[in-house]
Structures are given as C-alpha cells and as structure tokens.
Amino acid sequence: MATSNAGRERILARIRKARGHEASAAGAAEAIFPLIPDPMQRFLAECEANLTRVHRAVSNVQSAAILSQIVSELPAGAIYVEDDPVLRRLCVSIEERKILLSSEGRAPEDCVATLTLCDGLVAQTGSILTSSRHGGRGGSIVAPTHIVYATTDQLLPDVTSALRLAARDTERASYIGLISGSSRTADIEKILVQGAHGPVRVDIILEQR
C-alpha cells in the first residue's frame, strides 16, 4: 500500500504556498487550572463523580481480598487477566473462577471482567492512564467490568503530567489512553446512561505504597 502518493506533493505544495500567520508557541499552561493541594483527595472525589469505585488497601493480602469480593459480585463467566506476576498472585484469591491470561490471546467476547495494571492515575480528572501493554487494547474495553490494580505511588497530579509520562511510551505501545469512568452516553434526550458499549463498571484496587 502506498504511503506516499502524487496528491501528497500537491497538497504540501499548496500548504507551503499559503502564508501562515506568525503564531507564537502557546504560553505556559500553569495559570489555566487551579492548583491541586491534595491530589489523593482530589482523585477520590473525581472517581466518585465519574462513578468509578476505588477500593483502598494497605497490603497485598487486603488487595487480594478486595478482588475476591468484587469478583463474587459478578455473574458467572471467565475473567481475563493481564499476565503479570503481581496479578497472578492476586488471582490466587479467585481460584474458583475461570482465568484467561493475556499471554494466551486477546480478551474474549464473553468474559465477564478484565483485570489489568495501569501506567498511572490522574488526580485532576480521576482517570486511569493505560496502554496496550496492559492486557492489550481489549483488556480495558471489552468486558462489562474492568478492574484495575494500582498503587498510590502511581498517582499523578494532572493530565499534562500523565501525557509527559505517556510520551516515554509512544515508541513501545500502539495504544495509550486515559479512561475516566465507565462507558456512558447521553445521546437520548441528554439523559446519562452508563454502559453504552464498554464497561458498565470500573473498579480500582488502590494499594498503599
């Protein structure tokens, strides 16, 4: 398939002919958003507004117990898990469930939940910074429930810092995303409905570090 075609040169020539206004680079973004004095408090508040459930844990053991509790609330069916030693250990608590690891392939259509890690958490918007390295692209979107295991030292203040962190990943991951809550739509009479196509439910197990 062509990656360069005759139209390319013609379009570029037309662009070069046009005189652009001398535009100065954008100024500092600092004054645009208010300061976030307590990122953790802000993160929790934003998650609440996003309808993301955050479960705080102080140890691995407690995280495993929380996972087990979340999973017990889900209907029967397989759980798709990012293949990572930490998550494998957590999954011991849900041994009775069918577990599919990401190393075995992509998230199946009918899994009831996915469990992944993330690259960061964003206080400003209550978002999860993720990428295709975490269970693939489908790991965070295919199932009706997405469970994320994160640690408090992953908390970032704002979207700009998340993008700075993501910039390091652009060579390695074909997909990077900020997830801010569950899938939703307001296309019918502006009434908000959760669970349009992606997860209806997003749970973060947040372990103290």
Partner 1 sequence: MSRLAEEFLIAAAQKSADLTHRATIKRNVDSYDTAVAKGKLRFADWEAARTYAARVKGEAVSNLAPLLEEFERKIVARGGHVYWAETADDARQYICDVARKNNVKTVVKSKSMVTEEIHLLPALEKLGIKVWETDLGELIVQLRNEPPYHIVTPAMHLTREQIRDLFQQKLPDDMNGESHQELVAAARRFLRRAFFAAEMGISGANFLVADAGMVAISTNEGNGRLTTSLPRVHVVVTGIEKVIPRLEDLGVLWPVLATSGTGQPITTYSTLIGGPRAEGEVDGPEEFHVVLLDNGRTEVLADEEQQELLRCIRCGACLNKCPVYRSVGGHAFNTTYPGPIGSALTPIVNGMKDWGHLSYACSLCTACDSVCPVKIKLSGHLLENRRKYVSEGDAKTSEKVGFSVFRWATAGPRRFALLGWFGRKITRAALAIGMSPHALGPLASWTKYRAMPDVPKDSFRALWEKNDGNF
How far is the CA of 195 from the CAs of 110, 128, 201, in angstroms? 15, 17, 8
When the beta carbons of 17 and 95 are compared against partner 1, the nearer one is 17
Q: Is 126 left (phi over 0), alpha (psi -120 to 50) or beta?
A: left
What's the closest the beta carbon of residue 135 comes to partner 1, in angstroms? 7
When the beta carbons of 15 and 76 are compared against partner 1, the nearer one is 15
Q: Are strands 127-131 and 120-122 parallel, antiparallel or unpaired?
A: antiparallel
The contacts of residue 162 (CB under 8 Å, 6+ apart) are 120, 122, 127, 129, 156, 178
What's the closest the beta carbon of residue 99 comes to partner 1, in angstroms? 15
Q: How far apart are CA 81 and CA 116, in angstroms?
A: 6
When the beta carbons of 120 and 181 are compared against partner 1, the nearer one is 181
What's the closest the beta carbon of residue 155 comes to partner 1, in angstroms? 16
When the beta carbons of 64 and 204 are compared against partner 1, the nearer one is 204
What's the closest the beta carbon of residue 172 comes to partner 1, in angstroms? 7
